[in-house]
Amino acid sequence: MAPVTRLNVCVVGAGAIGTALAGRLHAAGHAVSVLARGARRSFLATHGLSLRDGDRDFAFRPALAELRDLAGHDLVIVAVKAGALPALLPRLAAAMRPDALLMPAINGLPWWYGLGERAPLTGRPIMAVDPDGALLPLFAPERLIGCVVYSRVTMLGSGHVIVSGRQDLQLGAVGGTPPLATIAEQFSEAGIAVRVESDIRRAVWRKLIRNAATNVVSALTGATLEQIGHDAEAIRLVAAIAQEVADLAGRLGRPVDPEIEELIAVLRAAGPFATSMLQDVRNGREPELGAIAEAPLELADQIGHPMPTLRSVAALLNLAVRVR
């Protein structure tokens, strides 16, 4: 792939994370367009994007892309729920240039995890996020940018997005040598903190520990992070899930420290922030159980690793969603 000095970016998905990324890039003068669907696209065409980032407000009308426009982009950032990917990714793969890069900014275990991974996951799809195994062969590993997002972002019913604190991205190569330095520089210019990881899969596990531990408990109970952090029984559940996921990562060759004491401190200092799953439940959407809970449970079953706490809490949340 030829060196890229400036990336023409399309953000697919104009939810909370997609809006926050597009807003920062646009405000810094970067070429960025947005591909959105249905009612959200109609809303953007009429009202544009609005974003509060710290003490600054942004309101702008992004260039709205169609699928056919993706051929003109160097980097496509996918910022949708993991459950939308089986229907979306084949269309993106068909529309993008063969040398264009894809950066999935998604929660949980990504569909690409098994690409070039060590045994027992070598080349194996994760059915919880890739039900037919059709996503794994769509993109060569060298075209994929692994991305782990740390950002407290909330979308209000009005479509206005609020960013609380910094936007941090951890980026790494899934395979090959993509232009990570160029991407990091362009994003850093836009005020998005970027760290390039030598082992992006380990970074995925570090984030999944926190996501799995806090999201399922918050979505089940309706509690914010701060409320979880000050409830002894909720803390017990969070700590148990965090340890179970960390132990699974270790058994799969990516040992990570669950940093439970630090996690508890973060929860207690988080204020009334609703996790992404809790935001989904409050707004009548289906929470991301597949990528955040069912995927690690699937891998645990493959190697005989017990995860009783996550399994029980996820099952209760699944039941609660069906009942509602």
Which is it for strands 161-173 and 145-155: parallel, antiparallel or unpaired? antiparallel
> Between the CA of residue 162 and those of 20, 30, 37, 53, 158, what are the distances in Å?
8, 21, 21, 6, 11
> Between the CA of residue 207 and those of 9, 210, 258, 282, 324, what are the distances in Å?
25, 5, 10, 23, 29
Quote the pLDDT of residue 59: 84
Q: What is the pLDDT of residues 10-39, one digit of tens each?
A: 999 988 899 889 988 888 888 889 999 888
Distance CA 30, CA 10 (A): 11
Tell me, what amino acid is at 193?
A: A
Quote the pLDDT of residue 78: 97
CA 54 to chain centre: 21
Supply φ then ψ for residue 150, to 5 degrees. Answer: -115, 105
Which tokens belong to 6? 């400036």
Q: Considering Cα of 278, then 290, then 284, then 154, what sign does the dihedral take?
A: positive
Distance CA 212, CA 263 (A): 12
Q: How many CA atoms lie within 13 A of 8 on its CB side?
A: 11
Distance CA 35, CA 41 (A): 8
Where is 76: in which H helix or E strand? strand 75-78
Quote the pLDDT of residue 138: 96
CB atoms within 10 A of CB 49: 23
Residues of the chain with pLDDT below 70 are 1-6, 158
Quote the pLDDT of residue 29: 85
Closest by Cα among 278, 273, 291, 276 to 320: 278
Distance CA 160, CA 174 (A): 33
The pTM of the full predicted model, rounded to 2 decimals, is: 0.92
Alpha helices in 149-270 (DSSP H): 180-189, 200-221, 225-229, 232-251, 260-268
Quote the pLDDT of residue 5: 58
